[in-house]
Structure 1
């Protein structure tokens, strides 16, 4: 996004780097990227010659069906916003030049994140980044901006999906060494491509956690999308796979996408507190998250597999609860020694979540909480796995809850919610129609 200085627009540092590369010929190609509903990296490879003119005028056309398909690329015709009746027209990817990054694994190539618009130049309601920008505008109308820090976990696996490391000690430098050279390559690549804070081993064989630096909510979502794209490519180049499947092994830890959220007003932290407790703004935000958490779970857990994580004693939440610095709660309040560090952590997201939808839905619940100005129940302590309302038990339940919440639909966009839920529902329908090996082994000769 271009900065405004003294009433005139001024290019950001990434945009200036892009312009220099185009001018001096060091850039020969630009990846124009966008995200589909489930967060898959999509885009086009565009020659550098002529890129800038099209980026600033028409944008780059692609079929709108690419925003309306599910995990295996099946187009869902029950969508309101695009379908066979509409003919699946073109939409336009308009690069946000301020998101430019050199592509670390292909010298001479740049990467830009795009907004998706229709021919009338209005944002496509199917664009996940556009949904997040809509929520941020609603938040700004209340006088707040949001900063977000993201923790993303994933597994590094052999090409057949099996672990290539057996040890499961989290934070282990010895395990980290055993994952080299791929882990060092990940660190260097992600450090050049995102605002990487660090990488560590997690509580599964070959599982790692990546932490992104706390920043503007839209930039945090952009970084998360780039992280997933880059991690998969680094792993591929090492003959491995980076899997963001939330629960790839029943006997091992699941993988999450945690959000650390704070609000700011006029450049000052809005969660500030002088007495070591949450202030009214933080309490209203927590109340909104708790009230709407069952309904927004879908947007951070869109796959059948994501609901395997929500089990007791797993370090993943299982109930709608909040507490202070307590990893058995779904919402974790963190009060630091300085107001700038005060934040709320939402722990329900699965690692396969689309970062734009995950962030947008969390902030939509925060907006709802601020507008309702209610207070949450008192924070609980201890083991909270037996407290509170259970999180949705399945993708089918989550879809039903998401489509019944008019408050959240109004903030996210009712048609956008409908279509996201319809795409997710197709996963549930496909799953329910499949007879598994477990069912045959259990019932074939016992029925």
Structure 2
């Protein structure tokens, strides 16, 4: 590991990189960075980055705060949109000599290792939706719709994001204008969930920086405007064993696909606070705006919580439509992997797939009405017991404080259908 890290440092220095941003992921899924000039960073690639864990939300207390973040040499991204002068290098935090259970990257790594010990490899890809807006409270700079050619107001931003996507190390992708005005979707390439989670963070950094260059805000707030579609983070999942995609079939879903769906639907309500983690998330989860409100699945059915893509009758994955871009992708993917693994191991059969518009269904389970309810379901659910107890306790603590901050100022029953100034302040530029 040390030699490999030093090799990466040499490559970055040779490429003209001037600064290294060592990334530590916090409990919200936000990047915290220690910035070093390239020459000074050499030792950090070998020995790790020492830092004050008590200053990272929920990591530690002031009396036990000396942590070391070790470099992951497979997680390096160059800031191409800023001339390639800086590189983002992801780390994993050690507590002593052991992986810290409060580091979300460690949590996801452990969930994936658990699946691999049982012979399964989970692969994930994510469709991230976001808005390009101006100001706070936000205004829409254009009024285009689904698959429209981006108008001049947003076109330069989108094109520059696309120009830098592969150059930054994120892989090949595509994008399009989404249903709402000034809303776009980009595909985070399919692969190892840890790499995909890292890529989401880098993409957010990049999109925000490029939008700001043109005087705009790229916001990943789930529901910045009432009365139109919010932004989802539709997560495509497949499960592999011995090099074979267990979900690949024609016409009819495989048994393994059904079991994974069963596991996810079985746990969907209890992991809602992880995949839809903000007060604002539950204003997205309302009927008739392409966000799921019923815990059901269907073939090619975008009103269902889990959709099986069914182009020409070919099947190779599932799409979990519950998550939104405010999620901590490491914790969210860990929860999804554990839920899917439960379905496979316990052979959980899902209910029959639905063909109807799911919003009209009665007598089926529904998504929690708000973050407060979602946190109670999480606390009582099985996946919370499968994740490290330290991070679950910390996560519930920060999210319950977030919910209390909202309800001290607003009544949910009176504000569930409006976007408040508190939400813009909390989420417009931070998630």
Same fold (TM over 0.5): yes
Change in 2 beyond 3 A, CA 1:51/1:338: farther
Contact 1:64-1:91 at 8 Å conserved across structures: no
Map 1:135-284 to 2 at 5 A.
135-173=111-149, 175-193=150-168, 194-273=170-249, 276-284=251-259
Q: TM-score, normalization: structure 2?
A: 0.89
Q: How far does residue 10 in structure 1 lie from its aligned partner after superposition?
A: 9.3
Deviations 1:171-218 (A, max 9, x none): 111x35441221111111223221241121112221111111211111
Map 1:36-435 to 2 at 5 A.
36-68=26-58, 82-83=60-61, 87=63, 89-104=65-80, 105-118=82-95, 120-173=96-149, 175-193=150-168, 194-273=170-249, 276-335=251-310, 342-387=316-361, 388-405=364-381, 407-435=382-410
Give SS of 1:246's match: coil
Matches of 2:140 and 2:305 in 1, distance apart? 31
Q: How far does residue 438 in structure 1 lie from its aligned partner after superposition?
A: 11
Please name the residue that 1:21 is paired with. Answer: 12
Q: Once structures 1 and 2 are overlaid, which stretch shifts more, 155-164 or 226-235? A: 155-164
Give SS of 1:82's match: coil
Q: How far does residue 225 in structure 1 lie from its aligned partner after superposition?
A: 1.3
Mind listing any 5+ residue stretches in structure 1 that lack a counterpart? Answer: 3-8, 69-80, 441-447
Contact 1:307-1:393 at 8 Å conserved across structures: yes
Change in 2 beyond 3 A, CA 1:234/1:368: same
Q: Once structures 1 and 2 are overlaid, which stretch shifts more, 47-56 or 152-161? A: 47-56
Q: How far does residue 411 in structure 1 lie from its aligned partner after superposition?
A: 2.7
Q: How far does residue 402 in structure 1 lie from its aligned partner after superposition?
A: 0.6
* Number of residue pairs aligned between Structure 1 and Structure 2: 411
Matches of 1:366 and 1:10 in 2, distance apart? 36
Matches of 2:371 and 2:222 in 1, distance apart? 13
Contact 2:8-2:73 at 8 Å conserved across structures: no
Please name the residue that 1:76 is paired with. Answer: none
Matches of 2:322 and 2:413 in 1, distance apart? 27
RMSD (CA atoms): 2.5
Give SS of 1:359's match: helix
Mind listing any 5+ residue stretches in structure 2 that lack a counterpart? Answer: 416-431
Q: Once structures 1 and 2 are overlaid, which stretch shifts more, 362-371 or 424-433? A: 362-371
Change in 2 beyond 3 A, CA 1:337/1:146: farther
